[in-house]
Every structure is written in structure tokens, then in C-alpha cells.
Chains A and B, each alone.
Chain A
Amino acid sequence: MKVKCRTISRGCAEGQVLITRDNISFLGNVDPKTGKVVDANHELFGRSIKDKVLVFPHGKGSTVGSYVIYQLFKNGVAPAAMINLESEPIVAVGAIISAIPLVDRLEKDPYSILMDGMCIKVNSSEGYVEVTEG
């Protein structure tokens, strides 16, 4: 199943879905050394975002979050790709400088078609998300 979407950061990657309804402030919520969510109040607390297709509504918090995403990338613990309901500049900029594919505005609600652990492909260069394995 291919679902169309809007391209924010170009690229193509596959990975397992890690999905949350909580917004993410990369500065503070995520440890740039390990890629683990360290904020005890976050739905993903304790989980690693490394190599995952991270699905969340949108970013929030400090603009330094963009650089934190870059640090995750340099440390080899960044997500493989990201999907937002609606992207905002912090995560958009962080994804672009870190060469992480990022898309938003999927034609179908990501919370009804995606589940934790699913394998999916995000091809943002061509503007689609594809569920490769259910």
C-alpha cells in the first residue's frame, strides 16, 4: 500500500515504525548520545528512536532541537525516517541537515494505518510512504 504525502526533507529509508501521539522536543526529550527518550513524562520514555521510522504529530520546544537531531545523526543513533502530521521548522531543519527523510500530511491518517513495529518505507524524494510488511 502506497500513501502519498508532502516532502519536507528528501531521501528514502526503511525501518520499523515507532509511533507516538506526543509531540517531541528533541532538546530535553531525547538523549543525543544514545537515541533514547529520557523524559519520564513522554509516551516513548525508555524507547530508542535509533533506525526507527519515528511517527509523531510535530516538534516543539527550543530551536536547538535542530542541532540535537544533527548530533543524533553524527552519533549514529538517529531515526531512519520521520513522519509528522504537520511539520514545523525545528524538526524540518534538523531532518534536512541530518539527511533524514521527513514527510507530513499523509493522505491517510498515519494513526489509523501505522502501528508500532510495522516495517515501512519512506520515500520522500518521490513523496510516498509504503507499508512493506504488516
Chain B
Amino acid sequence: MYLTKEEQAMLDGEEGETLQKAIEILVALGDIYGADRLIPVKSAQIAGVSYKTIGDAGLEWISDLHGKVRIPSILNPAGMDLQDWKKMRIDPEFAHKQHLIIEAYEKLGISAKCTCTPYYLEGFDATYGDHLAWSESSAVSYANSVIGARTNREGGPSALSAALVGKTANYGYHLDEMRKPTVLVTVECELEGSDYGALGYIAGKMVDSGVPLFILKGKPDNEELKALGAAMAASGAVALYHVEGITPEARKNKITRPEENMIIEESQIREIYDRAEPDIKDLEIITIGCPHCSPAELSLIAGLLEGKTVNKEVWICTSREVANEHFELVRSIEKSGAKVVCDTCMVVSPATERYKTMMVNSGKALAYVPGMCGVPTLFGDIYKCIKEALNE
């Protein structure tokens, strides 16, 4: 791998131990994946934040680092609402450790905003062709597919290294040839809202780590594309997809349809909604906001809950910045008894484990919550979720 004089000096330790380790990680990954050089990245989004995930080992490592990041850098969701963790009934010892992790990241100049939707935040509004070093799988998918930016799915330490060095290794989805579709997915029915999450849940398992090119009947909006990508990155390992006539690379470039064609029928989508297990009688909690809600989604939920009172535990997950900017929507949602939960989500918080059965409108949450949190999960569209919350 080619290194500039400055990069070589950094690797030789001339800029201190933290930067030496950071660039050593980037170079090692570059060597493993056959990168030719390092390239500058515009921003970093760093995984390895929830104490539930990284534990004391991760906390120790981050605390031992010195220096400051060179590009705008932001964090993945944490294990709890950082301000109002008590409303989630988080154990105080967990809260203490979680705060230590956030403080250790902040010491390195990283923004303590914890979200899987950095693209809704100022300073992280990536544009077409930008190179990024993002971690969270749905954010990676959104950046690559919906925005047309370029990022691999960075692990926590490699994203942090990229943030410190301001660069990443040039391989994978940074390269044109790796962005070509590998499989065609034809969907034979019209889709709406959470159907896209259900589609992603099915397609991810079929495509695994390929690059699917979708042929769809309708025109999904960006929230629907967000749900599609998030689910595919969870049930499979899809980090980039295209939709013919919709996503930027499929519109701007001449994309050849791959030969292999998978067909998804309406009955497969319905099956996700109509599962007999778990029993809806055991439903204890409804969670919406995986990935974190956009302002438009908060507005829809506020409208559905207006003047009503929920009868079950309800979490609406979003980023703190979006919540602060739309505090009137938050206030309106919370008036119903539903909780607007920031900085975290149902997948990464240990608070999820207390509940017997959950309902979600997210294909990603459906893929993760039963296994990672041990909570049987039902799937419904946003109207069904709110209806169950209100016990109508």
C-alpha cells in the first residue's frame, strides 16, 4: 500500500502513540482488503458505544487514547437515553459506565450525539460521491444507496481511527467496480410504509452481502428507503443497494441488470405481518424509530396520538437533535403517555429485555430484537402499532 511521507511518519510514531495505532489499523485493513492508498473522508460515525456491546474492555481502550479527531465525528446509539435514563428504568451502575464511555469519546473531540441517522444532522449531511467512514449498518446503507456517498461498514476501532487520521483505506465500496449490482430483485406488488421494512427483511436473507438492484412498482420516499436498507443490513449484510429509476447511482449511471433475478411476491410480504407467534395477547411494548425517526415520522406519530392516551409502554426512538428541533412534536407525543427516547433504541438498550413481547414497524428491529434481546417480536405497520398502543 502506498503511503505519503506524512502518513509514513505517522506510522513510525512521529505523531504519538494514538495516531500511530490509528494509522496502523487503517493500513492493516487496507492490506487485508487490497487497498492501494489512504483517502480523505468527510465525516466519521463511530460504533462501539453501548456499554451493553463493548463492556469494560471497550471502555478501557477508548479511555487510554489521546488526541483529537480531525473530521466531524459522531457516535452510534448508546445503551440508554443519556439524559433521561431513569424513565427507561436503567440500572444506575450501567448508566455510570455508559456515561464514562461517552465522556471518553468526547475527550477525543467526538460529538456526543448518538444516532443511527447522522444524515439528519447538520455537519453530517453527506452528498453524492463523498467518501465517509461510517459504522452503523443502516446509516452505511443509507449513505451508499440513498445519498450515493461512499463508505464501507467500518468497525468501531477502524471508524475511530479514520476520525483521528481523517482518512480511510481505499477499498470496497469506495471503488466504482464494487458498487455494481450483483443480483436483480423484482418485486411484484405495490408497497407502502413498513412494507419496505418487510421487503428488506426478506431480501437481506436472500442477497446476503451482495449488491441488489431492485425493480419496484411504486416510488418509495426516503423514509421507506431507509427502512428497506436498514432491514437488509440486519437480516443480511447488504451495505449498498440500487432501485431502478429511484436511487442516485441508478439514475445517473447506466446500470446493467444482473442476470440472476430473484422475485418477491406479495404473499411473502404478508407472511411477515401475519405470523402466529408470538401471541399478541402477550404484547407489552411497542417501539417505533428503528432507524431513528425523521421529523416527518415524528409528525405522523404525533398526529395519530393526538388527544389520545396509550395503554401500553410505547417508545418512539429518535436522535436528541431531531427531538430538540421538534420539541412541539415531542411534547404532543408524550402527552399521550408514549415516551420519546433519545440517543438509544430498542436494539441496543438493555431496558428492552424486561418486556415479554414487542411490536415493531421495522424490519431491522424484527431481525435483531428476538435474538439479541431475547424478546419475541411482532411486526405491524405504523397504524397497527399505534392502534395496539391505544388498545383500540
Contact = CB atoms under 8 A, between A and B. Distances in A.
Interface in B40-81: 48, 53-58, 60-61
B141 to A, nearest CB: 17
Interface stretch (A4-12, A34-42, A49-57, A115-123): A4-12
B388 interface: no
Interface residues of B, number: 20
A128 interface: no
Contacts of B55: 64, 67
Given A67-B58, A70-B57, A71-B56, A87 B32 contact: yes
A63 B155 contact: yes
Contacts of B56: 71
B21 interface: yes
B31 interface: yes
Given A63-B155, A96-B21, A97-B25, A89 B32 contact: yes
A5 B56 CA distance: 34
Interface in B140-197: 155-158
Nearest to B29: A89
- Determine which residue in A67, A71, A92, A93 has the highest number of CB atoms from chain B within 10 A of its CB, and name it: A67
A68 B24 CA distance: 19
B320 to A, nearest CB: 25
Nearest to A8: B28
Contacts of A89: 29, 32, 155, 158
Contact of A92 (B32, B48, B53, B57): B32
Contacts of B156: 63, 66
A127 B60 CA distance: 30
A88 B29 CA distance: 8
B28 to A, nearest CB: 5
A9 B24 CA distance: 7
A10 B60 contact: no
19 contacts: A6-B31, A8-B28, A63-B156, A64-B55, A66-B157, A67-B57, A67-B58, A70-B61, A71-B57, A74-B57, A89-B155, A93-B155, A93-B157, A93-B158, A96-B21, A96-B25, A96-B28, A97-B25, A97-B61
Given A64-B53, A71-B60, A74-B60, 15 more contacts: A8-B31, A63-B156, A64-B54, A66-B155, A66-B157, A67-B61, A68-B57, A70-B61, A71-B57, A89-B158, A90-B155, A93-B28, A96-B21, A97-B21, A97-B157
